[in-house]
Amino acid sequence: MKIQLIYPDPNPRVGLSGRKVESAALQLLAALTPPTHDVSIVQEHLGDDIRFNDPGVDLVGITAMTIQARRAYQIADGYRAAGKTVVLGGIHPSVLPNEALLHADAVVVGEAEHVWSQVLSDVASGHLRGIYRGREYADLTQLPPLRRDLFPKRSSFSIGSVQAARGCPYDCSFCSATLFTGRKYRFRPVENVIAEIKTLGRRFLFFLDDNIFSNESYCRALFTELKKLNLIWIGQASLHLAAGNRDLLKLAVESGCIALFVGIESLTASNLRATGSLAKNKASTPEEIGASIGVLHDHGVVLMAGVIFGFDDDDPEVFDRTLKFLNHHRVGYGSFSALTPFPGTKLFEALHSQSRITSYDWSKYDGATAVFVPKLMTPEQLQVGTRRMGVNFYSTPKIFRRIWTNRHHPVIFLASSFAWRHSCRVENRVPLYTPSGLWTKNANESLVPAIEGPPDARLLLPADPGTVQKNLRAGSLIGVA
Ligand code: B12
Ligand code: SF4
């Protein structure tokens, strides 16, 4: 069979973050495909074209996060109209498989490792069934090397991505990671990770792991080997694990770590407690968070602070308070999001059951748009405040004011700060989203937008939204449907 794997261009509003990173999921899916098939990869966000009538394509596999879902469905519909077989997979089809099945011949729920070959043989024999679920999580010691050869070399700026482990034990209420990859860390053998990195031919790496500081002995082994390669890398980590072990942090820096994305999420203890994020930060006051930031800076690591606005205890002053804090601590980069109730999360269940979600148009789930009614501010205040935060944080004088604290790789620091500055300014020029024009009053008697979405949006939710979640959470996925 001729198989085409597609990464849809998500909402172009999300400026920089989606533009350059290649899709590891599709490289892996290609690697899981038996060599008897021909595989190609199309990455719309990197400029590749979608050709519905391509005679060289029999089967199309499309991946989708929630923000990509609308575009993924358009592409799926286009290929099906041209007579091709379409399979959808990834996080969004996994949590809303019934919705995805309206646009595809089959949906893969969860990880593909245990079901992809079954899907392919069912396509070949003409017996494709609706929903496929892996029986268990993938054994990462068995992962094949990714099909990097399927990507043409693009701009020299593009970053090589690699995954060392999956899983996250923290299960924060707004996040899909634990739901999807499980509570338990699963590791790839260090030698496999290193062998893969050597094939990448890139000096600049991005670790896809949700927490690159997950386990001390594993990290020691990995960082020790990385040190020999003379690379620079960035990754994601929890504040507590990154700043709590100075020896390990030192080794990480020696191995090439130049910056870490750390989900600070909020400076308000009650928000951290309510969302479960206290467990990963182990710092509940701005002073404690500031002290951990100081440890990262002392080691020469640039912090990208992930901050989310719109939690139940966030009032309109939260933006100024946060900006002051980040400036005071000379935090290098900031990533600012409006709280977003991704389907499948505990947050989605709570806000959906409280009828506080204002839009089920998944293309607006971009972290820049308010798609629910916050408690202590209006959706408009949340959107405007989040956007302004980016513009204010990345003002030219502020970038220069923090250069000394983040001086270890000044060229990279300045280039990426100005790229973020540009991205935030572009975002700020997009007209503000106001749903449907229907307005209603919230608990504080302020006017807020009424629910917007396709008329049958609620019907598209699974009859029992908890079912998929429970199955995924328990790690006991039901078996091939
Ligand atoms: C890397 C990454 C990114 C990269 C994207 C890189 C890329 N081009 O793929 C960057 C940094 C750009 C990014 C951006 C964003 N991301 Co992101 N990202 C991740 C991360 C950390 C890893 C994903 C990954 O590559 N994993 C490795 C691969 C091998 O695993 P996988 O993708 O899960 O694929 C497996 C299965 O899903 C399945 N599968 C996947 N696709 C398909 C398709 C088919 C046909 C089949 C059969 C199977 C299948 O098979 C694979 C093997 O088992 C995840 C966190 C996580 N734990 O998943 C978040 C995550 C996917 N991101 C998330 C979000 C919210 C975003 C943003 C919207 C954030 C924001 N506000 O800006 C933006 C969107 C930007 C944009 N415009 O695209 C959420 C998605 C939630 C949701 N419901 O959509 C996640 C889950 C993080 C989280 N904590 O909740 N992200
Ligand atoms: S926000 Fe981070 S720590 Fe919390 S569940 Fe998601 S990946 Fe894990």
Per-residue pLDDT tens for 5-39? 999 987 655 444 445 678 899 999 999 999 999 99
Q: Are residues 222 and 371 in the same domain?
A: yes
What would the mean pLDDT of 128-136 be, rounded to a whole number?
86
Q: Are residues 291 and 423 in the same domain?
A: yes
Q: Pick the atom of ligand 1 nearest to 209's CA.
A: 21
| Residue 417: inside a domain | yes
| Residue 139: inside a domain | no
Rounded to 10°, the helix 246-254/216-227 angle is: 30
Distance, C-alpha 399 to centroid of its chain = 26
More confidently predicted of 83 and 159: 83
Residue 178 CB–ligand 2 contact under 6 Å: yes
Q: Are residues 319 and 182 in the same domain?
A: yes
Residue 63's SS3 state is: strand
| Residue 447: inside a domain | no
Return the half-sphere exposure (C-beta side, CA atoms, 13 A cut-off) of residue 109. 32
> What separation in Å is there between the alpha carbon of 196 and the centre of ligand 1?
20
| Residue 360: inside a domain | yes
> What separation in Å is there between the alpha carbon of 340 and the centre of ligand 2?
14
Residue 175 CB–ligand 2 contact under 6 Å: yes
What b/e string do you get for 43-80 counting C-beta neighbours within 10 Å, with b at 16 or more?
bbbbeeebeeebeebbbbbbbbbbbbbbbbbebbebbb
Residue 123 CB–ligand 2 contact under 6 Å: no
CB 180 within 8 A of CB 472: yes
| Residue 150: inside a domain | no
Q: Are residues 237 and 96 in the same domain?
A: no
* DSSP result, 103-161: S-SEEEES-STTTHHHHHHHHHHT---SEEE-SS---GGGPPPP-GGGSPP--TT--EE
| Residue 465: inside a domain | no
pLDDT given for residue 284 in this prediction: 81
Domain boundary among 404, 420, 438: 438
pLDDT given for residue 353 in this prediction: 82
Q: Are residues 171 and 126 in the same domain?
A: no
| Residue 54: inside a domain | yes
**40 membership: H or E segment, kind and range:** strand 38-43
Q: 200 pLDDT band (50/70/90 cuts)?
A: confident
pLDDT digits (tens, 9 = 90+) for 224-261: 999 999 999 999 999 988 899 999 999 999 999 999 99
Q: Are residues 117 and 266 in the same domain?
A: no
| Residue 274: inside a domain | yes
Q: Are residues 363 and 269 in the same domain?
A: yes
Q: Where are the alpha helices (DSSP H) in 299-409?
A: 318-328, 346-353, 379-393, 396-401
Residue ranges making up the domain that contains 290: 155-438
Q: 3 pLDDT band (50/70/90 cuts)?
A: very high
> What separation in Å is there between the alpha carbon of 270 and the centre of ligand 1?
28
pLDDT given for residue 132 in this prediction: 92
What is the domain count for the chain? 2
* Domain CATH code at residue 91: 3.40.50.280
> What separation in Å is there between the alpha carbon of 279 and the centre of ligand 2?
10
Q: Are residues 208 and 312 in the same domain?
A: yes
Q: Are residues 191 and 267 in the same domain?
A: yes
pLDDT given for residue 219 in this prediction: 96
Q: Are residues 173 and 255 in the same domain?
A: yes
> What separation in Å is there between the alpha carbon of 100 and the centre of ligand 1?
17
Q: 152 pLDDT band (50/70/90 cuts)?
A: low
Q: What is the pLDDT of the chain when averaged over all its residues? A: 86
pLDDT digits (tens, 9 = 90+) for 399-419: 999 999 999 999 999 999 999
Q: Are residues 68 and 204 in the same domain?
A: no
> What separation in Å is there between the alpha carbon of 30 and the centre of ligand 1?
17
What would the mean pLDDT of 74-87 be, rounded to a whole number?
96
Q: Pick the atom of ligand 2 nearest to 265's CA.
A: 1
pLDDT given for residue 279 in this prediction: 85
Protein residue whose Cα sits closest to atom 31 of ligand 1: 25
What would the mean pLDDT of 257-270 be, rounded to a whole number?
95
Evaluate if residue 394 carries a pLDDT over 60.
yes
Q: Are residues 190 and 52 in the same domain?
A: no
* Domain CATH code at residue 376: 3.80.30.20
What would the mean pLDDT of 130-136 be, rounded to a whole number?
85
Residue 280 CB–ligand 2 contact under 6 Å: yes
pLDDT digits (tens, 9 = 90+) for 421-476: 998 988 887 777 665 444 455 566 665 545 454 433 433 444 344 444 454 444 33
pLDDT digits (tens, 9 = 90+) for 166-177: 999 999 999 999
